[in-house]
Amino acid sequence: MNANPSRFPIVLIAILLASAPPSAPETAQAPAGDAPPPPIRHIDPLDEGRAGAMHRGRNPHARLTPQQHIEVALKHFSAGRVPQALAALDQALIRYPSVAELYNVRASIELADGDSSGALGDIEQAVRLAPEQPLYRVTRARIYLKFERPAEAMADLDKAIELNPDLIPARFNRGALLTYQGKYRQALADFDRCIAVDPHLPAPYFNRGSVLWTLGEKKRAREDIQRFLRIARAESWKRAARDLLKAWDAGGQTKPAAPIQGEETR
């Protein structure tokens, strides 16, 4: 995370669910009287850590269930093997082109890899396939903001909250967007709801404290930042909170600090 309190990155929720690639061809039948041919060898881009790994016989990933495939993709992604993670999703989508979750996953990884255009195309497909899934709309809203399309982002967040009023990712990100737009009372209501749903999540306290300070509720603002400092894990964000308190003490902070974005920030 960026320790600079004036510029914070958007953090993307990734619900990684993958499926299985197509089956490898069957081993050819040996002509009568001949010795059987050696097992087929094939290159499988999903083999752990080795894009050119060779296997004998059937593709070992050919019969993976969707949940097993997600474990392959997650393992590669968490280890920094983005090409293999994307290969897992690409193969899964060949076999299961109507599974919305696969597009959502690929959008998340593409965005993390800097491919915003690819991410937008995939998340739009996910929303088309599953328009009542609120988390897809949260993901799309975040990507819309990458393209400076705040009206569309707000529409997606509003819809996500309509579908699930207690969905913290939707409430949190809408609160951050409302803060940027100067709609502080509305932003405050969203951060209040986040804290009511999960009082142990640090990030809403930082954002709410910043908004409260701007609204003149300085005692409550300091209480929120102190609470954030007690429960936040990332030292970089703790430094940002201490810097914010110093700015308040110096009288130099009149508008809210740039909000933390991404409800999983800890």
Q: Please, are residues 191 and 204 in contact by the beta-carbon 8 Å criterion?
A: yes
Residue 26 lies in a domain: no
Q: What is the pTM of this model?
A: 0.74
Residue 82 lies in a domain: yes
Residue 49 lies in a domain: no
Residue 229 lies in a domain: yes
211 and 183 assigned to the same domain: yes
252 and 204 assigned to the same domain: yes
Q: Distance of CA 24 to CAs 31, 55, 93, 154, Å?
A: 21, 11, 16, 45
Quick one: pLDDT at residue 92?
Answer: 86
141 and 188 assigned to the same domain: no
d(CA 169, CA 141): 11
Quick one: pLDDT at residue 37?
Answer: 43
Quick one: pLDDT at residue 260?
Answer: 64
| CATH number, domain with residue 230 | 1.25.40.10
Which of 161, 183, 202 marks a domain boundary? Answer: 161
249 and 262 assigned to the same domain: yes
From first to last of its 266 residues, the chain has per-residue pLDDT tens of 433 333 333 333 332 223 333 333 333 343 444 444 444 333 344 444 444 444 444 555 667 777 777 788 889 999 999 999 999 889 888 888 999 999 999 999 999 999 999 999 999 999 999 999 999 999 999 999 999 999 999 999 999 999 999 999 999 999 999 999 999 999 999 999 999 999 999 999 999 999 999 999 999 999 999 999 999 999 999 999 999 999 999 986 666 766 666 544 44
94 and 217 assigned to the same domain: no
231: containing domain: 165-266
Quick one: pLDDT at residue 44?
Answer: 47
Quick one: pLDDT at residue 60?
Answer: 56
Which of 127, 161, 195 marks a domain boundary? Answer: 161
101 and 171 assigned to the same domain: no
4 and 115 assigned to the same domain: yes
Residue 138 lies in a domain: yes
Quick one: pLDDT at residue 4?
Answer: 39
Which of 161, 189, 207 marks a domain boundary? Answer: 161
146 and 179 assigned to the same domain: no
Interval 17-34: pLDDT, tens: 233 333 333 333 434 444
**Number of domains composing the chain:** 2
- 125's CB contacts (< 8 A; 6+ apart) are 100, 103
Quick one: pLDDT at residue 262?
Answer: 58
* Six-digit token string for 185: 């009372």
Quick one: pLDDT at residue 23?
Answer: 36
173 and 264 assigned to the same domain: yes
201 and 111 assigned to the same domain: no
Quick one: pLDDT at residue 72?
Answer: 84
Interval 41-72: pLDDT, tens: 333 444 444 444 444 445 556 677 777 777 88
120 and 186 assigned to the same domain: no
- Cα torsion for 9, 88, 126, 150, to the nearest 10°? 20
150 and 210 assigned to the same domain: no
Residue 48 lies in a domain: no
Residue 34 lies in a domain: no
Residue 31 lies in a domain: no
